[in-house]
A and B are shown apart, each in its own frame.
Chain A
């Protein structure tokens, strides 16, 4: 276990058990395990990295090495609403920069940051596959297309009022 006091004592490692039971002996499953872990905790806490390492017979460094390679994995908790803003080619040509700027003005967050109230996290991604509706963003599982600064402000206001 980590000794630098970075640990978050609220992590319930029991939740991970079914995942490890299912996959830890199936070779090549490390990414799948991490994806499932992130589903459970919303991110990959340090304890989880250690737990996965010991269950799969890897070093924590190897697990961390895999996790940090892929953009999907996060190491900090995310807000209630995860905004995935597309920065793909089509969205770039159709003004995704302006959308990023609007989100920044409205919420004060840039790529990878979370608002202080823990409501919103912004994550810039490459192509959500809805390029003909560019610029596009996805919030949790919902996709919003043909964005304009005005539309983004309305969507954010609506989500804020919901919480």
Chain B
């Protein structure tokens, strides 16, 4: 009998810590309660897995304290029928069954705080293979055969970067992992570090060996405290087991590890800005070339890869590059992890072979839209990406095909939107973000994003002018061409894609002063339906600016000149009598 509680950040936020305590108490110390990381079915958290004496898995979902007690009772009596109503439904099981997990192979299965569990599923055997029987070139060629491309966004071939760093002259080289995960709405890297930190460490060690680096640094986003703790713990365990440090496994290969916590700046996800930040400076990008492979950290040859990129490496070495490249499309090999969120029924982590369609991910795996509303768009690639409309849902997941839509593969954030999300508002949301996060080094990005933000703000406020769309388009082109780094070069994407696919929404805001999604508050008016209002006075009591008047038991009305459109009245009307238009 084995009892395991999922303890990733989302599980803990959903109350998994308390559930573990309740279970511990309820089984009266007869069974230890183990932990695991993120299973990826975040909408079902907290999740408790019980392997019975025949090693059958009973997976309990949305576990409350009462359900935890029921599980404990089932365990103590070995009568699992008692708690079967709390087990995961067959439909929800499909979410995992339809996936192919490589980067996430151990997530939600092993205990991330215990190196023995990683070793027991074959962990560190790829490192042993590399150190005992492969040259640096052998490793690079295996990665080349796999077709692995960078999962941090740009999709650059990993072997090429490794080879360039290897060939750079100099004894002192660095291997860096980019765990800044700046795309708001993406959390695959957090999940890998929290749930399977050793797979990252092993991938990095193999990378360090391939390029000849003696020092490895992981730059982790400051907002991920649990990831930092688990990674720190994993590095210590790996050091004690002889996988990290001097003369690893007696091979003569030496590599030490360090964690550097970021301090909150989106631009530090850009590799040269990240290097500046590692050096203790303002995270402002450098002009390329020279590339980091030539002159990176402390101006020494350096190689930077994303967390998910590294998480694939040990699997590739163990299973061969071809097993990886057998999956996917002509252009994009292997699998990709997506963080599926927003208005989707089943939100969580999805890893699938390249070549599936967006529709398969959002509808087959994600279960479609919450409350069965109408799908409107899916945002991919965060502030550097774009919104893909329903007509392109059959687009195949592949670097080139996604770029052709105007969005990008990005790091894997997939935020689903329904009819209630305003696309102009979405563009403004991202420009607010990039304008704030622009480091200020180059004029195009610093001032260009600001101007775009101003235009978008006036459009959502109903003050848009004829010609604003064209002006936005012109600015977009200029910023794309003129910006120094990827942040500025891609900042126009959210605007360009929404103009391309949802131009009518822009026109409605500018010409008719209407927001079709009914989201832009400045363009809405609140009204009370005289037939539905029974005069309970609830809305008038809740209105913070006393804009609602009327006698008890007779229909009320709203003074639109006073109304601040806060929505309190709608939220508190029990009769559905108030609408916004």
Q: Does B209 contact A (CB under 8 A)?
A: no
Known: A35-B261, A129-B9, A132-B42. A93 touches B282 (CB 8 A): no
Chain B 31-51 interface mask (CB, 8 Å, partner A; 1/0): 000000000001101000000
Report the minimum CB–CB distance from B379 to chain A (whole Å).
Answer: 6
Check if B263 sits within 8 Å of A72, measured CB to CB: yes
Check if A93 sits within 8 Å of B415, measured CB to CB: yes
Smallest CB-CB separation from A58: which chain B residue? B280
- Residues in B neighbouring A72, C-beta threshold 8 A: 222, 263-264
- Residues in B neighbouring A71, C-beta threshold 8 A: 263-265
- Residues in B neighbouring A84, C-beta threshold 8 A: 223
Selecting from B98-106, B124-132, B181-189, B355-363, the interface stretch reads B181-189
Selecting from A7-15, A62-70, A152-160, the interface stretch reads A62-70
Check if A129 sits within 8 Å of B421, measured CB to CB: no
A residues sitting closer than 8 Å to B (CB atoms) are: 27-32, 34-35, 65-66, 69-73, 84, 86-94, 98, 101, 105, 125-134, 136, 141, 143-146, 149
Chain B 185-205 interface mask (CB, 8 Å, partner A; 1/0): 111001000000000000000
Check if B223 sits within 8 Å of A131, measured CB to CB: no
| Assembled-state Cα–Cα distance A66/B263 (Å) | 10
Q: Does B10 contact A (CB under 8 A)?
A: yes
| Assembled-state Cα–Cα distance A34/B282 (Å) | 13
- Residues in A neighbouring B263, C-beta threshold 8 A: 31, 34-35, 70-73
* Minimum-distance CB pairs A-B, first 8: A88-B184, A132-B42, A70-B263, A89-B185, A30-B280, A132-B347, A127-B184, A71-B264
Report the minimum CB–CB distance from B353 to chain A (whole Å).
Answer: 22
Q: Is the interface of A mostly helix, strand, loop or mixed?
A: mixed
Q: Does B279 contact A (CB under 8 A)?
A: yes
Q: Does B510 contact A (CB under 8 A)?
A: no
Report the minimum CB–CB distance from B347 to chain A (whole Å).
Answer: 4
Known: A70-B263, A127-B184. A145 touches B13 (CB 8 A): yes
Smallest CB-CB separation from A23: which chain B residue? B280
- Residues in B neighbouring A128, C-beta threshold 8 A: 9, 223
- Residues in B neighbouring A93, C-beta threshold 8 A: 341-343, 415-417, 421
- Give chain B's interface residue range (CB within 8 Å of chain A): 35 or more
- Residues in A neighbouring B571, C-beta threshold 8 A: 149
Restricting to B368-385, which residues have a CB under 8 Å from any CB of A? 379, 382
Check if B225 sits within 8 Å of A141, measured CB to CB: yes
Report the minimum CB–CB distance from A113 to chain B (whole Å).
Answer: 17
- Residues in B neighbouring A130, C-beta threshold 8 A: 9-10, 13, 42, 187
Partner of B185, one of A31, A101, A127: A127
With A30-B281, A130-B10, A134-B342 already in contact, 9 other A-B pairs whose C-beta atoms are closer than 8 Å = A89-B185, A93-B341, A93-B416, A101-B566, A105-B544, A127-B181, A129-B187, A131-B339, A134-B341
Known: A65-B282, A105-B544. A126 touches B433 (CB 8 A): yes
| Assembled-state Cα–Cα distance A104/B445 (Å) | 32
- Residues in A neighbouring B225, C-beta threshold 8 A: 141
Check if B185 sits within 8 Å of A90, measured CB to CB: yes
| Assembled-state Cα–Cα distance A126/B187 (Å) | 12
| Assembled-state Cα–Cα distance A130/B16 (Å) | 14
Q: Can you list 28 A-B contacts (CB < 8 A)?
A: A30-B281, A31-B263, A66-B280, A66-B281, A69-B282, A70-B265, A71-B263, A89-B185, A89-B413, A89-B430, A90-B184, A90-B341, A125-B264, A126-B182, A126-B184, A126-B433, A127-B184, A127-B186, A127-B187, A128-B223, A129-B181, A129-B223, A132-B339, A132-B348, A133-B10, A133-B13, A134-B342, A145-B13
- Residues in A neighbouring B14, C-beta threshold 8 A: 133, 145-146
Check if A88 sits within 8 Å of B185, measured CB to CB: yes
Check if A131 sits within 8 Å of B187, measured CB to CB: yes
| Assembled-state Cα–Cα distance A149/B348 (Å) | 24
| Assembled-state Cα–Cα distance A130/B188 (Å) | 10
- Residues in B neighbouring A146, C-beta threshold 8 A: 14
Restricting to B188-247, which residues have a CB under 8 Å from any CB of A? 190, 221-225
Partner of A132, one of B10, B221, B439: B10
Smallest CB-CB separation from B519: which chain A residue? A97
